[in-house]
């Protein structure tokens, strides 16, 4: 590697009178250069020893600064190749946080988390199923299953998928302990440090975290109401040759958009042509509003480019942590191996419970009643948003799911609104949590999954009031 670029760094100056450690000063100066794009993505940083010598500082100082930059996602270090800038220009950014738990303060109304109202689940039915399984299997119900998953469940899943146009066999199915583990297993099987991964923007932050943990350099692609921009995607494919694309084509999280059929077909064509895999996260599979579910990418996949991920526990009992992958045959060995290394096997009892629900028709009945309840909640939320939010507010009517993606009036800060709402007893999710880089402060994700209808109405009324109050404050300040 040519190290003549060292001249970019010799002008760095340190204040030795400061109490701040030198490594921290170096970190901040390098970070400033990265964020201002003076150091562009892929730019090679000088070797530790060479930079230390040129700046007349200790090798450990440079090493500590580099480690801090890498820990926060701004650079990527490859053994034998050196350190490279990864932040900016659509690539990695600092790690994001994500939290699935409900608020610990019982005085708060939760319109932030996508957690279903516990009242939609029949504890009596679950108790009966568990008792019958124990009567049938005895203590075997609590033993390990094979790492790939309880075979009767995999058979039941295959039969269920046939009704949605997905043909698979039990050997293609890998049971995992929740969709987050499914994302992590796929990432670890496919992504190596320095590999490029494409993601929608905005996207699910848990997926971004899993990709970053594998050393991925993330490229974000903008979305519109029909899906991702195919023009932008093809430019990225030509330039970066990514290994994986993480997508939620049905009821996308957080926007609620559903890809058009044309976009789906174009995406599969690009996957075949450029030989990348698509991790299709069907996290809301089954929770649609129409008479039939929109097609999955997997149902259209004729070249084994799709790794299909379906969550079960998110629409069942969330604490059960249950999901499954449909694996392309060539990836199956590595996916199965990584799952086994991760936690040996998913709970055998949980798998037996869901298998019983599938075989006895209880799952179909549960989904039907759940769709009806969520359709009513969605219609109520849309009416409340129309009635209480300012006319300059916009939102997408999703094809299903448990939330609305709200675009706020110009000048309204989602972070400020969320903080004010919390003081009034309501939790909303600022949209900035879902962006790979350059977070937008003009969006909110509003969940209608667990609060009562009167509380939901009050939440939208409060949001409208806060929007108008903030707008009046800004107008007064500008006079």
Query: DSSP of 142-190, one letter per residue?
Result: GS---TT--HHHHHHHHHHHHTTT----GGGEEEESSHHHHHHHHHHHH
Tens-level pLDDT at each residue, the chain (479 residues): 444 456 567 668 888 888 788 998 998 889 888 877 777 777 789 999 999 998 989 999 999 999 888 877 788 887 677 888 875 433 444 444 455 555 556 678 999 999 888 888 899 999 999 999 999 999 999 999 999 999 999 999 999 999 999 999 999 999 999 999 999 999 999 998 778 899 999 999 999 989 988 888 888 999 999 999 999 999 999 988 999 999 999 999 999 999 999 999 999 999 999 999 999 999 987 898 888 888 999 999 999 999 999 999 989 888 899 999 999 999 999 999 999 999 999 999 999 999 999 999 999 999 999 999 999 999 999 999 999 999 999 998 999 999 999 999 988 999 999 999 999 999 999 999 899 877 789 999 999 999 999 999 999 999 999 999 987 776 666 65
Say how far apart CA 456 and CA 475 lie, in whole Å.
29
CB-count burial class (<10 Å; 0-12, 13-18, 19+) for 364? middle
Q: How many other CB atoms are found less than 10 A from the CB of residue 49? A: 11
User: What spatial distance separates the first Cα and last Cα of the chain, rounded to whole Å?
Assistant: 57
- Which tokens go with 360? 């006895």
Say how far apart CA 74 and CA 59 lie, in whole Å.
20
* Nearest 10 degrees: Cα torsion 292, 295, 299, 301: 170
Describe the crossing of helices 362-388 and 453-478 by its angle, rounded to 10 degrees.
Answer: 30
Number of Cα atoms under 13 Å in the Cβ half of residue 217 = 23
In this structure, the strands spanning 244-247 and 196-201 are parallel
Fold of 4-85: Arc Repressor Mutant, subunit A (1.10.10)
DSSP 90-143: TSB-SPP----SPPS-TTSEE-SS----GGGS-HHHHHHHHHHHHHHHGGGGGS
User: Which residues make beta-bridge pairs with 403?
Assistant: 447
CB-count burial class (<10 Å; 0-12, 13-18, 19+) for 309? buried
Say how far apart CA 153 and CA 103 lie, in whole Å.
33
- Which tokens go with 327? 């694996």
Phi, psi torsion values for 8, nearest 5 degrees: -65, -20
Which sequence spans correspond to the domains of the chain?
Answer: 4-85, 109-114+372-478, 123-364
- Cβ contacts of 250 within 8 Å, gap of 6 or more: 258, 259, 282, 284, 285, 288, 293, 294, 296, 399, 400
Return the closest-CA partner of residue 252 out of 281, 276, 278, 229: 281
- Which tokens go with 115? 């957690």
Predicted pLDDT at 104:
56
Q: What is the pLDDT of residues 188-227, one digit of tens each?
A: 999 987 788 999 999 999 999 899 888 888 889 999 999 9
Say how far apart CA 70 and CA 74 lie, in whole Å.
6
Residue located via tokens 């892929």: 42
Domain spanning 123-364: CATH 3.40.640.10: yes
Phi, psi torsion values for 447, nearest 5 degrees: -90, 140
Predicted pLDDT at 105:
66
- Predicted TM-score (pTM) of the model is 0.81
Host H or E run for residue 210 = helix 205-213
What are the strands of the beta sheet with 306-311, ordered from one edge?
Answer: 173-176, 323-326, 306-311, 277-282, 244-247, 196-201, 217-224, 227-228
Say how far apart CA 399 and CA 219 lie, in whole Å.
27
DSSP annotation of 360: T
User: Which residues make beta-bridge pairs with 196?
Assistant: 217
Phi, psi torsion values for 201, nearest 5 degrees: -130, 115
* Nearest 10 degrees: Cα torsion 232, 238, 241, 247: 20
> Radius of gyration of the chain from Cα atoms?
25
Predicted pLDDT at 90:
38
Q: What angle do CA 213, 209, 153 make, to 5 degrees?
A: 95
Say how far apart CA 49 and CA 60 lie, in whole Å.
9
Predicted pLDDT at 8:
62
Distances in Å between the Cα of 341 and the Cα atoms of 95, 149, 173, 207, 299 are: 25, 14, 17, 20, 30
Task: Classify 109-114+372-478 by CATH class.
Answer: alpha beta
């Amino acid at each position: 590697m040519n190290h003549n670029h060292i001249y970019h760094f010799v002008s760095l100056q340190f204040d030795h009178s400061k109490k701040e450690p030198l490594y921290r000063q170096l970190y901040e100066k390098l970070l400033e250069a990265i964020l201002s794009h003076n150091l562009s993505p892929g730019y090679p940083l000088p070797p530790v020893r060479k930079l230390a010598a040129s700046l007349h500082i200790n090798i450990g100082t440079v090493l500590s600064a580099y480690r801090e930059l890498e820990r926060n996602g701004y650079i990527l270090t490859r053994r034998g190749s050196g350190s490279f800038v990864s932040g900016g220009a659509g690539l990695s950014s600092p790690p994001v946080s994500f939290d699935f738990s409900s608020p610990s303060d019982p005085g708060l109304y939760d319109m932030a988390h996508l957690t279903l109202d516990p009242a939609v689940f029949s504890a009596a039915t679950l108790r009966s199923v568990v008792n019958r399984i124990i009567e049938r299997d005895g203590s075997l119900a609590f033993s390990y299953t094979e790492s790939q998953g309880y075979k009767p469940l995999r058979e039941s899943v295959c039969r269920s998928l046939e009704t949605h146009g997905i043909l698979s066999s039990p050997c293609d199915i890998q049971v995992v302990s929740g969709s987050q583990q499914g994302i992590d297993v796929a990432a670890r099987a496919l992504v190596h440090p320095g590999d490029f991964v494409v993601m929608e923007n905005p996207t699910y932050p848990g997926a971004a975290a899993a990709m970053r943990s594998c050393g991925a350099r993330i490229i974000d692609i903008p979305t519109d109401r029909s899906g991702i921009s195919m023009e932008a995607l093809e430019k990225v494919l030509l330039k970066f040759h990514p290994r994986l694309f993480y997508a939620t084509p049905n009821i996308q999280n957080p926007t609620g958009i559903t890809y058009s059929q044309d976009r789906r077909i174009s995406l599969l064509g690009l996957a075949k042509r450029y030989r990348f895999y698509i991790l299709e996260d069907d996290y809301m599979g089954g929770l649609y509003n129409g008479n039939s579910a929109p097609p999955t990418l997997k149902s259209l996949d004729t070249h084994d480019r799709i790794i299909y991920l379906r969550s079960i526990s998110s629409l069942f009992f969330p604490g059960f942590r249950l999901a499954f992958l449909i694996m392309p045959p060539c990836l199956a060995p590595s996916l199965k191996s990584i799952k086994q290394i991760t936690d040996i096997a998913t709970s055998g009892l949980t798998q037996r419970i869901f298998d019983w629900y599938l075989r006895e028709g209880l799952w179909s009945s549960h989904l039907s009643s759940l769709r009806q309840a969520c359709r009513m909640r969605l219609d109520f939320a849309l009416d409340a948003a129309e009635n209480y939010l300012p006319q300059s507010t916009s939102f997408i009517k999703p094809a299903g799911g448990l939330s609305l993606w709200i675009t706020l009036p110009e000048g309204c800060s989602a972070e400020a609104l969320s903080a004010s709402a919390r003081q009034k007893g309501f939790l909303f999710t600022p949209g900035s949590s879902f962006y790979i880089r350059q977070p937008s402060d003009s969006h909110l994700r509003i969940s209608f999954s667990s609060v009562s209808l009167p509380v939901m109405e009050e939440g939208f009324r409060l949001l409208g009031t806060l929007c108008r109050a903030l707008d009046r404050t800004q107008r007064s300040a500008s006079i």
